[in-house]
Structure 1
């Protein structure tokens, strides 16, 4: 859950949310878009399910004016390959904000069908503003769309003047260019869009797997439409505090990164690293101070890279760290960057997410949802104080989790008040959470668990990383979710799975 949450864009851009904003792998099929109706056509992609279908769903820009202007949502499904075993429809709720559900279904649909043994038609969609759905733009310069800039890293000395200027510039541009579509991008409308999708599918209830920011969407849907939920899975949840929402998710990042870093340190000194040429030392306790020393040296003297005009700075190294902590599989990439930064004879190679600007549409939806969801403080002085305190407490993230964003200067007030998640509703929710998640930390997930009360059970997995189900290789955790979705069985009480647990 990110925070600016495949890699959640919310979490990549603001807090780092690995679900990033992505172009959809399968676009909605062309054709007539009629409100409430779906016209399915094959949209199978190489490497994806051969039975995948796509359609367009017409929904109002403003649900308060259902007869007014409509926009399109790109929706997709992978029908059950075992009709005799089919028990319902499962919606995959993408993270972000800004991730493509159509692409996620292309990537994960076949694996879900195998794991769930055909128990569901699996469906998903591109939320409004994303991929094949109707998008908006802010007309931002390329430099303002680079991820390191959208993430509001303070200057090397802790000043935030440049962040303030950029945030103000972005907010004003979005107000000028965004129009009614941009103003409609919100969690509340995504929840309404899911309900419209359910009706168009002609099903009485939905089951769901929501991931990262998608857990918040899923929780709000379950609060607003409890009788329309069947078996509900929230994978990697954040604190649902309605007064803070995404601002709170972002603020939790400093502690989350500190909790996760020891996993990387242990990996970096494992004897196997010497064979890989990726070892960073002999003692795990030395890795953190070594990383901080390297980042400070790059603050003072950035190092030229293979990308002309883009040197490796301390903040780029810190951003690479946060992204890498999402998955153990990315640890080698981070180790190579660190070793290259330490070697005076080598020019580091920067990954695309550190160099290339996001598309204007992707940047717009990433910001608009969190800014439209809740009011953010507007006093610059409060951000300066918060950044200074956060830099001292959590040097690995150097103050960005509490820094200013365009939301501080957003021109349009939220159209809907944030939803308060409560224990009122059916007891049909299973939460799963990594103990060391760099984006949606376990302590934030516990606040979602507390809010839901007896409606939920929580499976905590003693591993690091973001996005647990069929994502980090924990057999115990995967089995718990699969059993719930296929049989309805949940643990009688909150439980814990060991690392790689079987």
Structure 2
């Protein structure tokens, strides 16, 4: 199972939305923009339908001061053969503040994944974005093809996903490795049996072309776009295909499109090792918030070893295997706000209690209390593997597993094993283009120095590939930066509203 790219603000805003909503999401400090006016009774524009129930379901209550409208945009299944009559339905949400003034247009958003819902993000960001942005822009989110409400790829069973997350993240013996390989192949073959040749149609280039169809359906002028994590790759591909249709584009948590899947996995292994080292140093200095007995790295390694023979039980019947522990650790490193949660979860495991580590792991896996998963990882595999023109072979993965175990002791081997998904994926490949966005205006590329999932080193590489990229740096921790601090907000807001590019070399402080 490859590490997915993610946007932490999604779960953060959910956690802040209403005390009645139960969530395992991280809690981030978001500025108080004041109470908005109550929503007025409105009728939807032609082609749209009112859909406040989506925001209410996600947030406990639809935020006041906004209208929520949805529409379905039909797109060709295969943009390389657009006239064959086969279409996908793409679900779009528009959140519009009732106190808008000096409106600029629509701001299209994507949370990453691949596999995360942009419709959900549009609802969440009504609470998360600065008011000066929501007063000038409609927030438009869409579920990319194969995701959520947009002709979803749904071929993994809950039982197989449970088995995947529970499995040994670093299967050392050949027998263990073969068990992981067999499960991975079973799941991939199940997707092929259900979707056949359509599996290859969920590639990033196809989704980028869908974005242009959405822009045209909105009746707006040029594209304004805010993409997080994998959403930066989606935006970069759009910029190459439609450079002259862009007004303002912000890519936060940059993916380097030029790297191979092997390079991407190794980059993440390095990024998560660095983030875990930062967590370990914090833990050593903050024992009241990280009450573990011993060095954090040694504690995790020991707990995972003990789990191989004597895993801690959980009230829901699951056992805290090395796999579940590993994914709990991964989940907590996406934001520094979750470091205390990880510290407490590890301390609880030392005391024979596993609820906290499962809460972290389930948050990452998008698994609810009933053991049901969303289609996040189904879509994640379909998109990643359709994009991957030259996946690593099983033999190469086995070799890299040994090499990376030495270079990246906690995350290297699991990241190598995660590449098995695309190695055995039985679908046609459709790699995205890589090149300059000739004719595009400046594109703001935001990077975080402590980012584990899209390491900071990728930021300049994406900017350079596009040829028009301007880097804004946050000297902080966690995955993605906007809207984290006043400095970041100032520069991103000024860019989106006034098209003002930050001075070269701008670095925003941690706080």
1:456 and 1:340 mapped to 2: Cα distance? 45
1:304 and 1:152 mapped to 2: Cα distance? 17
- The answer as to whether partners of 1:156 and 1:299 remain within 8 angstroms in 2 is no
Deviates more, 1:219-228 or 1:122-131: 122-131
The SS at the match of 2:249 is strand
Within the alignment, does 1:48 sit opposite 2:63 as a pair?
Answer: yes
2:162 and 2:454 mapped to 1: Cα distance? 23
Within the alignment, does 1:267 sit opposite 2:282 as a pair?
Answer: yes
Which whole-Å deviations, capped at 9, do the CAs of 1:331-366 have from their partners, x for residues lacking one? 22212221122125x455422346765647433212
The SS at the match of 1:461 is strand
Deviates more, 1:126-135 or 1:259-268: 259-268
Which position in structure 2 is the counterpart of 1:438? 452
Which position in structure 2 is the counterpart of 1:385? 399
Q: CA deviation at 1:203?
A: 1.9
The SS at the match of 1:98 is coil
2:242 and 2:25 mapped to 1: Cα distance? 26
**Residue segments in structure 2 that go unaligned for 5+ positions in a row:** 9-23, 27-45
Deviates more, 1:46-55 or 1:190-199: 46-55
Which position in structure 1 is the counterpart of 2:247? 230
The SS at the match of 1:280 is coil
1:180 and 1:342 mapped to 2: Cα distance? 48
Q: CA deviation at 1:413?
A: 2.0
1:197 and 1:295 mapped to 2: Cα distance? 46
Q: Considering only aligned residues, what root-mean-square deviation do their CA atoms show, in Å?
A: 2.8
Which position in structure 1 is the counterpart of 2:323? 315
Which position in structure 2 is the counterpart of 1:290? 299
The SS at the match of 1:76 is strand
Within the alignment, does 1:103 sit opposite 2:120 as a pair?
Answer: yes
Within the alignment, does 1:279 sit opposite 2:291 as a pair?
Answer: yes
Report the CA distance shift for 1:112/1:378 in structure 2 as closer, same or farther (over 3 A): closer
1:78 and 1:440 mapped to 2: Cα distance? 28
Which position in structure 1 is the counterpart of 2:17? none
Q: CA deviation at 1:150?
A: 9.2
1:408 and 1:19 mapped to 2: Cα distance? 32
2:479 and 2:408 mapped to 1: Cα distance? 20
Within the alignment, does 1:491 sit opposite 2:505 as a pair?
Answer: no
**Residue segments in structure 1 that go unaligned for 5+ positions in a row:** 9-17, 21-36
Within the alignment, does 1:326 sit opposite 2:338 as a pair?
Answer: no
Deviates more, 1:73-82 or 1:146-155: 146-155
Report the CA distance shift for 1:419/1:132 in structure 2 as closer, same or farther (over 3 A): same
Report the CA distance shift for 1:92/1:223 in structure 2 as closer, same or farther (over 3 A): same
Which whole-Å deviations, capped at 9, do the CAs of 1:446-481 have from their partners, x for residues lacking one? 32122123x1111111111012101xx322112211
Within the alignment, does 1:469 sit opposite 2:496 as a pair?
Answer: no
Which position in structure 1 is the counterpart of 2:348? 340
Q: 2:311 aligns with which of 302, 326, 338?
A: 302
Report the CA distance shift for 1:299/1:478 in structure 2 as closer, same or farther (over 3 A): farther
Report the CA distance shift for 1:289/1:368 in structure 2 as closer, same or farther (over 3 A): same
Which position in structure 1 is the counterpart of 2:76? 60
Deviates more, 1:388-397 or 1:72-81: 72-81
Report the CA distance shift for 1:397/1:307 in structure 2 as closer, same or farther (over 3 A): farther
Matches within 5 A, 1:7-156: 7=7, 38-43=47-52, 45=56, 46-48=61-63, 50-63=66-79, 64-112=81-129, 114-116=131-133, 118-138=135-155, 140-146=156-162, 148-149=164-165, 153-155=169-171
Which whole-Å deviations, capped at 9, do the CAs of 1:6-34 have from their partners, x for residues lacking one? 758xxxxxxxxx999xxxxxxxxxxxxxx
Which position in structure 1 is the counterpart of 2:492? 481
The SS at the match of 1:59 is strand
Within the alignment, does 1:207 sit opposite 2:224 as a pair?
Answer: yes
Report the CA distance shift for 1:363/1:261 in structure 2 as closer, same or farther (over 3 A): closer
1:19 and 1:60 mapped to 2: Cα distance? 36
- The answer as to whether partners of 1:19 and 1:99 remain within 8 angstroms in 2 is no
Which whole-Å deviations, capped at 9, do the CAs of 1:90-145 have from their partners, x for residues lacking one? 1112311111111111111244361415221221111112222222332x343322
Which position in structure 2 is the counterpart of 1:5? 5
Report the CA distance shift for 1:360/1:462 in structure 2 as closer, same or farther (over 3 A): closer
Report the CA distance shift for 1:147/1:120 in structure 2 as closer, same or farther (over 3 A): farther
Which whole-Å deviations, capped at 9, do the CAs of 1:46-66 have from their partners, x for residues lacking one? 143531211111112122133
Report the CA distance shift for 1:231/1:306 in structure 2 as closer, same or farther (over 3 A): same
Which position in structure 2 is the counterpart of 1:428? 442
1:224 and 1:3 mapped to 2: Cα distance? 27
Within the alignment, does 1:418 sit opposite 2:427 as a pair?
Answer: no
Aligned length: 459
2:388 and 2:354 mapped to 1: Cα distance? 43
- The answer as to whether partners of 1:152 and 1:405 remain within 8 angstroms in 2 is no
Which whole-Å deviations, capped at 9, do the CAs of 1:374-404 have from their partners, x for residues lacking one? 2243532111000111111111215111123
Report the CA distance shift for 1:147/1:56 in structure 2 as closer, same or farther (over 3 A): farther
